[in-house]
C-alpha cells in the first residue's frame, strides 16, 4: 500500500542524510521525497511516499522515530488528508497544437507559466495521479522535460503535526 | 568563569563526565587534544596498536562495567580503522563514545590530507553522531553524546572534531552542563500497566511456558529481577548468546543457550511452548531459524526498551515497551498482589508435566547431563572449556573471538553472573577477544580475565600483545588451536562436501609461544590431555603475567547441536555428525 509519511526534522546538518540513509540501509523504498524549512527555523518538514505492507510501514515509522534528529512524524494516510505535488512540464509546441494544449491544461486546472516561440512551460498542481494523467493526456505533444516537487501533505481537520 | 581552549574543554568534559580510561591512538588531527591530555594527566590513556583495538577495548570495558567506553582517534585512517569496533558495539547495543579528529573546518570537503567523512561513514552503525561546528559547543556535545550512548537502548555515539576547534590559543568560558534535554529523544521508561497486567494473567495460565532472556537484561541491570521472577513462577529459562550470565547456569531452571548452536532442551522447550516471555531479546535469525516455523503454538510476550525490536521479525502478541527493570519489578508486584504469596503461585501453576518433559529432553541430549562429544586421541575443544571452568571456579571474565571456540565457550563455561561473558554476538567480529579482554582487565585489575580464541581470530589483533606489555595486563589467552578456520571448515564439511576452500593456513602458523615471549609474555603449548589441567592451573596461578596457552585440539570436531537450515524450525537440529532430530 502507498503511504505518505510527514516528518518534523531537526534543522541540523546531516539530518536529511540519516533519513534517506535509513531507507537504503534497511531496504525500504522512497517513491517521492519533499523537504523544506517550516515556520519554525529549527525544524524542517520532510514528506515522503513509500510503498509497503503494514508490517513494513510499522518498521519504517519505528525506525524513523528512533533517529535522534526526528522530532515527530505522522502517517498521513492513516487519516483524512490533503496531498499535493507540483509539476512543471516543458512542452514543444507548434502553432497548430497550441489551442489543444491550452484546453488540456484548462481541464487539469493548470497554468501556462512561460511561453517561447516553440515552447510552453505548464504548471500543474494536484495528486500524483492527476499529474500522471496530465502527462498521458498530453501524449500527442512533445514533452521535453518534467520537474516534480514530490508530494507534500497535511492532515485535514484539527490534527496537527507540530512540537 | 574558567577559560579553556577547545582541546582543554575536551579533556575537562571527559573528566567531569567521570571517564576512567581513554583508549586511543594519536595523529595530526587530534594532536592538540593529546597535548591537553598530556598536561592534565588526569585520565589514563591506553595506547593501543591499532584503532580497531581501541574500540574493542572500550567495548570490553563497557560490557564488563556497564559504563560507556571512550575512544580517541585521529581523522582519516584512524577513524576508518575504528569502524569495525563501532559496528560491533552498535550491533550489541554497547554504550561507547568515539571522539574522532577531523581536518580543519576550512579544509572539509576538499579531499584534504587524512580527510574522511566520518559522520557519513559511521552513519548506519551509530546511535547518533555529531560534528562539532563551534568550539564553544564542545562541552554540551560531549554531554549529549554520553547521555545518548548510555540511556534508552545504548549504543555508540561519534563526535567528529575539526582540528581548528581545538587550537590551544583560543579560549572559551567553560562549564560542564549537569543535565541535557533533547526534545526528540525520550526513551520509554515504564511499561504500559494494562499490558503488564494482561501479561501476568497470561503467564499464570501457561502450561508450557519459557522465559527467553537476552542481552537487554544485562544492559538493563535486571538479572536479579529476572531470577526473582523466574523463581516466583517456576518457569524454565533460556538465554541468548548475548544473555548468558543474566540467569545463573547453576539453577535447575536453566536450560542453557538457545538458537543455532543452542541446547537441545532449550530449542525443544521453545518450540513446544505455549507462552514465551521474551525479555531484552530481538528474535535474531541465529535464534529463530526459519521465522515462519518459529514456535507455532506460542503466545509471545515481548519486553524491550526499543519499540523497533517489537514484531520486527516475529510478531509479538503482547508487547511491553520500556525499561526491563521497571517492567519486571511491576510484573513481580502484580504477581504477588494477584496471588497473595509466592508459594501459592507456584502451586497454582501446575507445570509438573512440562518440567517432566524438559527433564526427558535434558536426559536425552542435554550438553551438561552427559558427555556428548566423541572420543578422540586428541584433546577435544569442549574439554578445554570444561577444564577452564574448573580452574577458574566459573568466576572469570571470559571474552571470546568468533568461531567454534566461541560457541564451545558459550556452551561449556557455565556463567553465573551478568557482565562476565563478553563476545561479539551481533556482528561476529573476529579480532574482538584480545582487545576486549584488555578493557576488562583494566577495569578489574584483580580479577581473572581470559580470552578464549582460535588461531585465526587471535591473529586479527595479535599486535595488542604489545599493549598488554606496556600496561602490564596479566590476562590469559586460551587458544583452541585446530589449525583451521574451524567454523568455516565446519560449514564446508556440512554444506560443501568437505571442500576446505581457503580455510587452512598450510603450515604457516607461527610458534605462538615464541611469538608471545618476543612480546615479553609467557606461552605454553599443550598437546596432551593429561597435561591440560596442570598447565592451565599453573598458568592461572601466575597473577601478574600474561600467559598464552596454545592448546592443540581435534581439528575435525564440529559444534553441535546445530540448527538444520535452510527451512528448519527451532526443533530441527543436528546433534552430531550423523544424528539429527
Ligand atoms: C572479521 C571476520 N572475518 C571473517 C569472519 C568469518 N568467520 C567466522 S568464524 C571464522 C573462522 C574462525 O577461525 P578461528 O578463529 O581459528 O576459530 P575456530 O572456528 O577455529 O574456533 C571465520 C573466518 C568473521 N566472523 N569475522
Model ipTM value: 0.94
**Predicted confidence band at B1 (pLDDT cuts at 50, 70, 90)?**
confident
Ligand 1 centroid–CA B552 distance in Å is 17
Compute the distance between CA of residue A88 and CA of residue B412 in angstroms, rounded to an integer: 68
Asked if B311 and A68 come within 8 Å (Cβ–Cβ), the reply is: no
Task: Tell me which chain A residues have a C-beta less than 8 angstroms from the C-beta of B109.
Answer: none
pLDDT of residue B289: 97
The answer to whether B51 is a known catalytic residue is yes
pLDDT of residue B343: 55
Ligand 1 centroid–CA B514 distance in Å is 23
Cα–Cα nearest to A4, from A78, A85, A87, A86: A78
Asked whether B404 lines ligand 1 (CB < 6 A), one says: yes
β pairing state of A32-37 and A43-51: antiparallel
Rounded average pLDDT over B349-378: 95
State how far residue A111 is from chain B, nearest Cα, in angstroms. Answer: 41
Name the helix (H) or strand (E) containing B352. Answer: helix B352-365
Average pLDDT, chain B: 97
pLDDT of residue B94: 98
Residue B364: CB atoms within 10 A of its CB come to: 13
Ligand 1 centroid–CA B485 distance in Å is 6
Read off the C-alpha cell for B445. 585489575
Q: Which residue has the higher pLDDT, B189 or B386?
A: B386
**Using an 8 Å Cβ cutoff, are B432 and B403 in contact?**
no
Dihedral pair phi/psi, residue A156, rounded to 5°: -80, 165
Asked whether B479 lines ligand 1 (CB < 6 A), one says: no
Ligand 1 centroid–CA B496 distance in Å is 17
Task: Tell me which chain A residues have a C-beta less than 8 angstroms from the C-beta of B306.
Answer: 66
Residue pairs between chains A and B whose CB atoms are closer than 8 Å: 38
Asked if B129 and A69 come within 8 Å (Cβ–Cβ), the reply is: no
Cα–Cα nearest to B298, from B272, B326, B268, B262: B272
* Helix pair angle (A54-66, A15-25), 10° resolution: 150
Compute the distance between CA of residue A9 and CA of residue A128 in angstroms, rounded to an integer: 24
State how far residue B69 is from chain A, nearest Cα, in angstroms. Answer: 21
pLDDT of residue B337: 85
**Looking at the complex, does the CB of residue B183 fall below 8 Å from at least one CB of chain A?**
yes
**Residue at grid coordinates 563501532:** B86
**Looking at the complex, does the CB of residue B180 fall below 8 Å from at least one CB of chain A?**
no
Q: What is the pLDDT of residues B144-188, one digit of tens each?
A: 999 999 999 999 999 999 999 999 999 999 999 999 999 999 999
pLDDT greater than 80 at residue B265 = yes
Task: Tell me which chain B residues have a C-beta less than 8 angstroms from the C-beta of A23.
Answer: none
Task: Tell me which chain B residues have a C-beta less than 8 angstroms from the C-beta of A63.
Answer: 308
Asked whether B403 lines ligand 1 (CB < 6 A), one says: yes
**Residue at grid coordinates 598450510:** B506
Q: What is the pLDDT of residues B192-228, one digit of tens each?
A: 999 999 999 999 999 999 999 999 999 999 999 999 9
Ranges of residues in chain A with a pLDDT under 50 are: none
Asked whether B482 lines ligand 1 (CB < 6 A), one says: yes
The answer to whether B39 is a known catalytic residue is no
- In a mutagenesis test of the B interface, which of A44, A68, A69, A162 is the best target, namely the one with the most B β-carbons within 10 Å? A68
pLDDT greater than 60 at residue B366 = yes
Read off the C-alpha cell for B348. 497454582
pLDDT greater than 80 at residue B244 = yes
Strand positions, DSSP E, B215-264: 237-239, 254-257
- Measured from the Cα of B408, ligand 1's closest atom is 21
pLDDT of residue B350: 82
pLDDT of residue B338: 76
The full length of chain A comes to 163
Cα–Cα nearest to B316, from B287, B273, B283: B283
Ligand 1 centroid–CA B430 distance in Å is 6
Asked whether B550 lines ligand 1 (CB < 6 A), one says: no
Rounded average pLDDT over B355-370: 97
Q: What is the pLDDT of residues B18-37, one digit of tens each?
A: 999 999 999 999 999 999 99
Interface of A with B in 34-93 (CB under 8 A): 55, 58-59, 62-63, 65-66, 68-72
Residues B458, B462, B466, B472, Cα dihedral to 10°: -10
Q: What is the pLDDT of residues B533-569, one digit of tens each?
A: 999 999 999 999 999 999 999 999 999 999 999 999 9
The answer to whether B548 is a known catalytic residue is no
Cα–Cα nearest to B36, from B11, B53, B57: B11
Compute the distance between CA of residue B446 and CA of residue B435 in angstroms, rounded to an integer: 18
Question: Distance between terminal CA atoms of chain A?
Answer: 28
pLDDT greater than 70 at residue B342 = no
The answer to whether B336 is a known catalytic residue is no
**Predicted confidence band at B348 (pLDDT cuts at 50, 70, 90)?**
low
β pairing state of B299-304 and B275-279: parallel
Dihedral pair phi/psi, residue B397, rounded to 5°: -80, 125
Evaluate the omega torsion of the peptide bond into residue B204 and state whether it is cis, within 30 degrees of 0. Answer: no
Amino acid at each position: 500500500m502507498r503511504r505518505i509519511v510527514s516528518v518534523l526534522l531537526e534543522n541540523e546538518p546531516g539530518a536529511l542524510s540519516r533519513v534517506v540513509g535509513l531507507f537504503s540501509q534497511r531496504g525500504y523504498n522512497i517513491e517521492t521525497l519533499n523537504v523544506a524549512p517550516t515556520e519554525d527555523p529549527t525544524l524542517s518538514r520532510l514528506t515522503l511516499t513509500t510503498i509497503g505492507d503494514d508490517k513494513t510501514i510499522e518498521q519504517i515509522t519505528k525506525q524513523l522515530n528512533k533517529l535522534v534528529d526526528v522530532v515527530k512524524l505522522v502517517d498521513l494516510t492513516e487519516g483524512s488528508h490533503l496531498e499535493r505535488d507540483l509539476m512543471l512540464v516543458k512542452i514543444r509546441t507548434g502553432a497548430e497544437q497550441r489551442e489543444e494544449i491550452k484546453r488540456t491544461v484548462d481541464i487539469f486546472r493548470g497554468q501556462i507559466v512561460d511561453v517561447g516561440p516553440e515552447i510552453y512551460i505548464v504548471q500543474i498542481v494536484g495528486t500524483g495521479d492527476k499529474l500522471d494523467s496530465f502527462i498521458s493526456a498530453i501524449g500527442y505533444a512533445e514533452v521535453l522535460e518534467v520537474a516534480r516537487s514530490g508530494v507534500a501533505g497535511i492532515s485535514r481537520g484539527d490534527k496537527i503535526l507540530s512540537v | 568563569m574558567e577559560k579553556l581552549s577547545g582541546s582543554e574543554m575536551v579533556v575537562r568534559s571527559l573528566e567531569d563526565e567521570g571517564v576512567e580510561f581513554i583508549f586511543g591512538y594519536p595523529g595530526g588531527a587530534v594532536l592538540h587534544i593529546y597535548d591537553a591530555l598530556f598536561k592534565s594527566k588526569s585520565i589514563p590513556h591506553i595506547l593501543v596498536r591499532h584503532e580497531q583495538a581501541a574500540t574493542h577495548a572500550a567495548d570490553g570495558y563497557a560490557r564488563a562495567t556497564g559504563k560507556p567506553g571512550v575512544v580517541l582517534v585521529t581523522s582519516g585512517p584512524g577513524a576508518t580503522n575504528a569502524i569495525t569496533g563501532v559496528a560491533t558495539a552498535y550491533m550489541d547495543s554497547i554504550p561507547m563514545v568515539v571522539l574522532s579528529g577531523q581536518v580543519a573546518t576550512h579544509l572539509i570537503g576538499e579531499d584534504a590530507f587524512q580527510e574522511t567523512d566520518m559522520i557519513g561513514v559511521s552513519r548506519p552503525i551509530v546511535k547518533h553522531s555529531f560534528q562539532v561546528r563551534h568550539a564553544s559547543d564542545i562541552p554540551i556535545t560531549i554531554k549529549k553524546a554520553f547521555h545518548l550512548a548510555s540511556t534508552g537502548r545504548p549504543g555508540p555515539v561519534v563526535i567528529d572534531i575539526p582540528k581548528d576547534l581545538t587550537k590551544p590559543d583560543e579560549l572559551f568560558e567553560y562549564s560542564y552542563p549537569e543535565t541535557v534535554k533533547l526534545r526528540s529523544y525520550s526513551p520509554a521508561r515504564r511499561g504500559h500497566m494494562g499490558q503488564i497486567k494482561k501479561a501476568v494473567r497470561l503467564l499464570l495460565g501457561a502450561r508450557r511456558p519459557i522465559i527467553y532472556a537476552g542481552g537487554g537484561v544485562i544492559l538493563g541491570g535486571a538479572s536479579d529481577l529476572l531470577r526473582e521472577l523466574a523463581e516466583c513462577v517456576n518457569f524454565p529459562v533460556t538465554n541468548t548468546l548475548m544473555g548468558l550470565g543474566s540467569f545463573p547456569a547453576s539453577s535447575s531452571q536453566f536450560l542453557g543457550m538457545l538458537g543455532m548452536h543452542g541446547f537441545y532442551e532449550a530449542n525443544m522447550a521453545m518450540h513446544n511452548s505455549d507462552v514465551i516471555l521474551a525479555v531484552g531479546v530481538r528474535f535474531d535469525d541465529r535464534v529463530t531459524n526459519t521465522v515462519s516455523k518459529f514456535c507455532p503454538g506460542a503466545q509471545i510476550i515481548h519486553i524491550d526498551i526499543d519499540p523497533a525490536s517489537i514484531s520486527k521479525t516475529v510478531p509479538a502478541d503482547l508487547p511491553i515497551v520500556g525499561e526491563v527493570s521497571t517492567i519486571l519489578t511491576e510484573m513481580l508486584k502484580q504477581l504477588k498482589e494477584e496471588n497473595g504469596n509466592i508459594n501459592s503461585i507456584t502451586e497454582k501453576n501446575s507445570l509438573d508435566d512440562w518440567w517432566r518433559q524438559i527433564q526427558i529432553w535434558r536426559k536425552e541430549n542435554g550438553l551438561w547431563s552427559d558427555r556428548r562429544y566423541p572420543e578422540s586421541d586428541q584433546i577435544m575443544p569442549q574439554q578445554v572449556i570444561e577444564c577452564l571452568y574448573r580452574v577458574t571456579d566459573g568466576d572469570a571474565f571470559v571474552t571470546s573471538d568468533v568461531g567454534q571456540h566461541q560457541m564451545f565457550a558459550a556452551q561449556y563455561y557455565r556463567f553465573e553472573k551478568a557482565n562476565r561473558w563478553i563476545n561479539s554476538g551481533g556482528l561476529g567480529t573476529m579480532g574482538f577477544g584480545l582487545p576486549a579482554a584488555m578493557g576488562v582487565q583494566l577495569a578489574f585489575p584483580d580479577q581473572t580475565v581470559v580470552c578464549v580464541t582460535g588461531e585465526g581470530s587471535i591473529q586479527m589483533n595479535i599486535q595488542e600483545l604489545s599493549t598488554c606489555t606496556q600496561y602490564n595486563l596479566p590476562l590469559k589467552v586460551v587458544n583452541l588451536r585446530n589449525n583451521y578456520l574451524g567454523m568455516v571448515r565446519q560449514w564446508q564439511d556440512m554444506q560443501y562436501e568437505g571442500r576446505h576452500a581457503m580455510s587452512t593456513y598450510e603450515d604457516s602458523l607461527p610458534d605462538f609461544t615464541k611469538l608471545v615471549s618476543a612480546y615479553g609474555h609467557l606461552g605454553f603449548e599443550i598437546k596432551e590431555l593429561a597435561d591440560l589441567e596442570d598447565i592451565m592451573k599453573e598458568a592461572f596461578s601466575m597473577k601478574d603475567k600474561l600467559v598464552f596457552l596454545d592448546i592443540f585440539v581435534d581439528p575435525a570436531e564440529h559444534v553441535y547441536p546445530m540448527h538444520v537450515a535452510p527451512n528448519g524450525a527451532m526443533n530441527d537440529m543436528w546433534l552430531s555428525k550423523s544424528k539429527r532430530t
